[in-house]
Structure formats: C-alpha cells, structure tokens
Amino acid sequence: MSRSSALPDDTRLGRTALRVADLTVTIEFYRDIVGLRVLDRDESRATLGVDDTPLLELLAESSAESRDERGAGLYHNAFRVPSRAALGAALGRIRDRWTLDGASDHGVSEALYCTDPEGNGVEIYRDRPREAWPRTEDGTARAAGGPLALSEVAAAADDAGSTGSQPAPGGTTLGHVHLEVSSLESTETFYVERLGLDISMSFAPGARFFSAGGYHHHVGANTWNQRSRTADGLGLAWFELLVPDADALEAVRERLADGGVSITETDGGIEVADPDGIAIRVRFAA
C-alpha cells in the first residue's frame, strides 16, 4: 500500500487489557514476574505499568465464561525492555518464581516466553539495534527462530548489577501483541487496508506481521491452532494503538468508515473490532 494511506511512522502500541477471573493472583504475576508497578487498583480492575505509563489493564470478570479453546484472541502480549541487562533481570524473576516456557533469538530481538496464571501468553523481549537487524533482499526486517543463549542473557544482568528482585525499568513498553485468528487473509485486509499498518514480515508459515515505521512488528497474527470462533469470554479485552495526532486519527476513522467497519466513540478516540471480534482502540497520544 502507498505510504500516503499508511499510519505515521511514530505510531505505537499503548495499553493492552485482559479480562481475568482472579484479579489478585494476576496482579501478583505481572508485578512480581513481568516487573510492572501497580498504578491504580480497586475491587474490579487494576492498571499496571512502568513509572507513570500504563501498559496493562486487568478487568475482573469472575462471572465471565472461561476461555473458548476454539475462539480467536490473544497468543501473547509482548513487553519490550530497553536492554539485555533488563532482559536478564526478567529471566532471573522467571527462574526464581515462575516457569520459563521458551526462549528465542529472533535476530531482530531476544525473547523469553511464559504463561500467566490465567493462561495468557507473555513475551518479554529486547530489540537489537535496527542497523543490526537481518534484512531480506528488499530491505524489510527478517526474523528467525534460533535458540537464545540464556547464560549470556543472565550474565548481562550480573554485569550490570541487575537482579531478579528489580522491577522492569523505565523505557519498558508494550512492544507488540500477537493474536490467534481464523483467517490470515481477512486479518491482513483489516490491519493493512482499514487500520493502515504495513506488512512487515512473513517469516513463519501460517503467520502475518504488521507494523508502522519499519518496526519488525506491532501486531502479529497466526492460524497455528485453527481458531474458528470470534473472541469472547476471558482473555484479551482490547489493545490500544496510539497515533501521533488528531489528523492521523481522523485518517484512520475515514478508512474504517469507507470499509464499512462499525466504529464506537471512546474517550479520546475510537474502538473497532477486527474480523474475529478482537477490539482495537485507536487514539492519539497525549
């Protein structure tokens, strides 16, 4: 697609929201394992983040239906830390208090994987500098799936004096979300033609990756588990896409309206649903 219809380069993710059955236990995981700080909490919800920046909303839904094993939704939320030392500290927290499900060197990034108490996938990763990213012949980012040298990641934390007791540092963000969808074709149409993201990578069979500004991906989508129902129940409630200004938000609104997508007005922006019923909130960053 042409750059004139794409999202601005400084588009990024804001927050992600999860519907959870046990608010207290889930807060403890994201505080003690991921390293986020509780910014606000009441009996039905909690906001966690880094410094004063919210990254995660937890919504208590004790009466909600359990996760539909055939339903679309979240594959993982991915929290990006600013350094290898911070990744090593996260590895220490997981090893000390949780279970590491996997780890990968993607070339563009180094990533740790685990699962929260409600069954939601979690990635904690750090990016390599953009100039070091592997590239395809046309210049786009090329990710891989090799093993991660965990001993070197742990050593980076030791060298920096970081420990598993330290929280996620300033500069930690929600780097990307990875979704489970029913159709890559309809997902691509929505995220590219309607929202305005670019196709960034397609290194894994059965997956697509989308981004703004040449990032390796802000949104991933896969059909690996053959989801066939719309998103519902516990799990991902919505995620947030931040555009830089009101003009960019209006351009998104116009593309969605032209495509016949139903739009709901929210505080400071809009909310829409992708073809699998996954809610996306779009607003401009304050």
User: Where along the chain do its domains lie?
Assistant: 3-284
Lowest mean pLDDT among 133-137, 176-180, 188-192: 133-137
Q: What value does the mean pLDDT take over residues 214-234?
A: 87
What mean pLDDT is reported for the chain? 92
Q: How far apart are CA 102 and CA 113, in angstroms?
A: 5
Q: What value does the mean pLDDT take over residues 31-44?
A: 97
- The torsion defined by the Cα of 140, 145, 146 and 151, in degrees rounded to 10, comes to 100
Q: Which of 68 and 30 is assigned the larger pLDDT?
A: 30
- With a cut of 90, say whether residue 233 has pLDDT above it: no
Q: With beta carbons less than 8 A apart as the criterion, state whether 122 and 111 touch.
A: no
Tokens of 114: 């685990």
Q: For residue range 157-172, what is the model confidence (pLDDT) as tens digits?
A: 988 777 767 799 999 9
Domain 3-284 architecture: Roll (3.10)
Q: What value does the mean pLDDT take over residues 194-220?
A: 92
Cβ atoms within 10 Å of 216's Cβ, excluding its own: 25
Q: With beta carbons less than 8 A apart as the criterion, state whether 243 and 249 touch.
A: yes
Tokens of 76: 């993982």
